[in-house]
Amino acid sequence: MTVPGGATRLDAQLAFLAEADRLKSVLRATTLHDASRRENSAEHSWHVMLHALVLAEHAARPVDISRVLTMLLLHDLVEIDAGDAPIHGDHDPAEQEAKEQAAADRIFGLLPVDQRAALRAIWEEFEAAESDDAVFAKSIDRVQPVLSNLEAGGGTWPEYNVTPEQLESRVGTKVARGAPALWAGLKSRIDAWFAAN
């Protein structure tokens, strides 16, 4: 039973925070800009939040930046159990979603019940990608790896055999939904890279 206040409640909070440390060991398909190593999902989450803060003015519709930041803070925690599914990889979306739901049950389940419900709800809102805040958060989550790959001279695009058409369909449509002006800005940079490579 979770006690509202006192040691047991703090124990549950600290158990969740300790478990979250493992996100620092989940590696993504993208590298750091200097291409020295793969990026992990914890530092990616931080970087995506910084992108959201700085690029919020490009949102298609007004957003509550506080809710966007909270979504992005939590959005990849399920990868501790479910792993990262690269957007240019060939995972089964239904299987990945089932894994992520089970991960959310276990990981958010470490928290006291009230926080478990609150944090799970905002993660579910992000996943559903329907509210204005979630649509923008999803856009920015797609923008950061594109910029990383551009900064890393194409990064892992060649490894994943990424084409401009694939970027348009898998990334562009999602970015444009939440931040159309931003996708226009990225598109010219992407086209320049593919023209030169």
Rounded CA-CA distance 111/105 in Å is 11
**Least CB distance to a second copy at residue 138 (A):** 18
Rounded CA separation 80/175 (Å): 25
Smallest distance, a second copy to C-beta of residue 32, A: 5
Residue 25 has what DSSP assignment?
G
Which residues are registered as beta bridge partners of 27? 40
Least distance to a second copy, CB of residue 177, Å: 18
Instruction: Tell me whether residue 33 or residue 177 sits nearer to a second copy (CB atom).
Output: 33
> Rounded to the nearest whole angstrom, what is the least distance from the CB of residue 30 to a second copy in the complex?
11
Quick one: 87 or 119, whose CB is closer to a second copy?
A: 119
Q: Give the tokens for residue 168.
A: 């348009």
Nearest CA among 20, 42, 34, 52 for reference residue 148: 34
CB nearer to a second copy: give 87 or 110: 110
Nearest CA-CA partner of 134 in 72, 44, 45, 41? 72
Tell me the residue type at 101: Q
Q: Of 20 and 91, which CB lies nearer to a second copy in the complex structure?
A: 20
Are 132 and 67 in contact by the 8 Å Cβ rule? The answer is: no
Q: Which amino acid is at 115?
A: Q
Q: Is the CB of 3 or the CB of 54 nearer to a second copy?
A: 54
State the minimum distance, in angstroms, from the CB of residue 1 to a second copy.
18
Q: List interacting residues with a second copy (CB under 8 A).
A: 7, 10, 13-14, 16-18, 20-25, 32-34, 36, 39-40, 42-43, 45-47, 49-51, 53-55, 58, 65-66, 69-70, 73-74, 111, 115, 119, 144, 147-148, 151, 182, 185
